[in-house]
């Protein structure tokens, strides 16, 4: 079905422009069928189609989100530079910190959502503190966490401070 015809038939649907012959409307159809499960006339058909469309939508939404990211996240910002450098250290630290924080928090007698919130927030704070104040500032830890080492600054009398990798005249 061409995209123009699909837009005419479903004016409120969202379509991906990458491949004009394949509109992404599976999510809307899935929601429609799932909402109509209570109708006994279409419930058996709806259950089969709903299951198929659920799988199809799950398999198409991930590439759609990746495509949107590739299309719209192309600017190089300071936050993106910082996050790109921090992602490996965050990944390495997160499991250990989550287990340690979670071990103590799950023993508290509070609602589960409160436990989840406390674990989430406190783990994030601890991980970022460890990354910012230890991993990012100690060269040997930078290398162990998969980051490039920062060159040392050299000070010479009568000269300005230069990086060790630059030539000194």
Task: Considering only CA atoms, give the Rg of the chain.
Answer: 26
pLDDT tens digits for 128-169? Answer: 999 999 999 888 999 898 888 887 766 666 666 555 555 554
pLDDT tens digits for 104-118? Answer: 999 999 999 999 999
Q: Round to whole Å and give the CA distance between 87 and 121.
A: 17
Per the structure block, which two tokens stand in for 73? 């996240």
Domain range summary for the chain, segments of one domain joined by +: 3-72, 78-144
| pTM: predicted TM-score of the whole model, two decimal places | 0.55
Per-residue confidence (pLDDT) for residue 103, from 0 to 100: 96
> pLDDT averaged over the chain?
75
């Amino acid at each position: 079905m061409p995209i123009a015809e699909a837009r005419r038939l479903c004016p409120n649907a969202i379509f991906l422009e990458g491949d004009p012959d394949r509109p992404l409307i599976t999510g809307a159809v899935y929601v429609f069928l799932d909402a109509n499960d209570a109708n006994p006339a279409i419930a058996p058909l709806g259950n089969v189609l709903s299951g198929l469309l659920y799988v199809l939508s799950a398999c198409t939404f991930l590439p759609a989100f990746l495509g949107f990211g590739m299309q719209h996240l192309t600017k190089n910002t300071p936050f993106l530079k910082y996050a790109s450098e921090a992602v490996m250290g965050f990944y390495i630290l997160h499991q250990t910190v989550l287990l340690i924080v979670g071990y103590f928090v799950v023993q508290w007698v509070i609602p589960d959502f409160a436990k989840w919130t406390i674990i989430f927030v406190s783990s994030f704070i601890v991980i970022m503190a460890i990354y910012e104040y230890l991993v990012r500032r100690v060269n040997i830890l930078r290398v162990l966490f998969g980051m490039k080492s920062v060159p040392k600054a050299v000070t010479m009398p009568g000269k300005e401070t230069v990086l060790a990798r630059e030539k000194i005249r």
